[in-house]
Structure 1
Amino acid sequence: MKKDEVPQDGDNLHHGTFKQLFYAVDNSGDYTTASSVGWEPENVALDQAWEEVEKRVAETRAKVEAGTVSPIAYYMERTLLDLPLLASKAGKWGWQVKRHMQPGVFKNLSTTMIARYADIFGISPETLQKGELLPFQRPQ
C-alpha cells in the first residue's frame, strides 16, 4: 500500500495513545515506515474481543463471590492466562492448579504458594489470601 493510504480511522481502543507501524511505499517507490492510529474493522474486532474478556472476568468474579471457585480462578482470567500457562509459571501441573481453584484447597495453601501465585498475578500475597478481587481494566 502507498504511504498516503495507510489507515487512519481513529483508534477507539487506545484513545490515540497507541500507534501501529506499517511498511508502505513512498512516492519514489521505496519501502518506508508509516504509523497508523487504527483501521476501523480491526478496532471493532479488538473491541469485541475485549468485551468477551470482560464478560469472562465478570463471570469468574461472580463464581468467586458465590464461593464456587477460589480467587486464583479470577486472577487467572484477569491476567489473561489459561490453565497450562498458569501451571507453567507456578511450577505446578495443570491438575494441581485446578485443584488450587477449589475454595477448600485454596484456604490451606502455604504462604509460599500464595506468594508464588501473587507474584504471577502482580498483586500482594495479602490481597490474594484475603480474597480481595481487584477490578479488571483494559490495558491502555
Structure 2
Amino acid sequence: MKKDEVPQDSSNLESAKLKELCYAVDEDGNYTTVNSSGWDPKTIALNQAIEEINARIANAKNRVLKKETSPIEYYMEFHKMDLSILASYVGIWSWRIKRHFKPTVFNKLSEKTLQKYADTFDVSMEQLKDITKHGN
C-alpha cells in the first residue's frame, strides 16, 4: 500500500486520540511508517469482539447471581483470561480451577486459595466472594 493510501477511517482509536502505526511504501518505493486513525473493516471486527467479550462477562455474572457458577468464572471473564492463563497466574492446575467454578466447591475453599484468586484479580476477599460489590 502506498503512503497516501493508508486508511484514515474513523474508529475507536480516534476517541482515545491514538494512532495505529502502519507500514507503507513512499514515493521512492521504500518502506516507511505512517500513522492511521483506523480502517472500517478492522473497526467492525474489533467492535464485534468487544461485544462478544461483554456478552461473556454478562453471562458469567448472571450465572454467578443464579448460583450456577462461582465468582471465579466471572472474574476470569472480566479480566479476559482463559483457564490456562488463570492457572498460570494463581499456580493451580486448570482442572482444579474448573472445579472451583462449582459454587459448592468454591464455598469450601481455604482462605489461602481464595487470597490467591483475590490477588490475581486485584479485588478484596469481600469482592471475590460477592460480585455485586465489584465496582466494574
Tell me the TM-score normalised to structure 2 length.
0.89
Stretches of structure 2 lacking an aligned partner (at least 5 in a row): none
Tell whether the 8 Å contact from 1:61 to 1:133 is kept in structure 2 after alignment.
no
What code does the residue aligned with 1:36 have?
A: S
Cα separation, partners in 2 of 1:81 and 1:15, compared to 1, 3 Å = same
Tell whether the 8 Å contact from 2:90 to 2:120 is kept in structure 1 after alignment.
yes
Tell whether the 8 Å contact from 1:13 to 1:43 is kept in structure 2 after alignment.
no
Q: What residue in structure 2 maps to residue 121 of structure 1?
A: 121
Tell whether the 8 Å contact from 1:70 to 1:103 is kept in structure 2 after alignment.
yes
Distance in 2 between residues matched to 1:100 and 1:14, nearest whole Å: 41
Q: What residue in structure 1 maps to residue 51 of structure 2?
A: 51
Bigger drift between 34-43 and 110-119 goes to 110-119
Distance in 2 between residues matched to 1:13 and 1:74, nearest whole Å: 28
What code does the residue aligned with 1:73 have?
A: E
**Structure with a larger share of its residues in helix:** 2
Q: What residue in structure 2 maps to residue 30 of structure 1?
A: 30
Offset at residue 14 of structure 1 (A) = 6.0
Stretches of structure 1 lacking an aligned partner (at least 5 in a row): none
SS in 1 for 2:15: coil
Percent identity between the two aligned chains? 47
Tell me the TM-score normalised to structure 1 length.
0.86
Cα separation, partners in 2 of 1:42 and 1:135, compared to 1, 3 Å = farther
What code does the residue aligned with 2:52 have?
A: E
Distance in 2 between residues matched to 1:59 and 1:133, nearest whole Å: 17
Q: What residue in structure 1 maps to residue 102 of structure 2?
A: 102
Q: What residue in structure 1 maps to residue 73 of structure 2?
A: 73
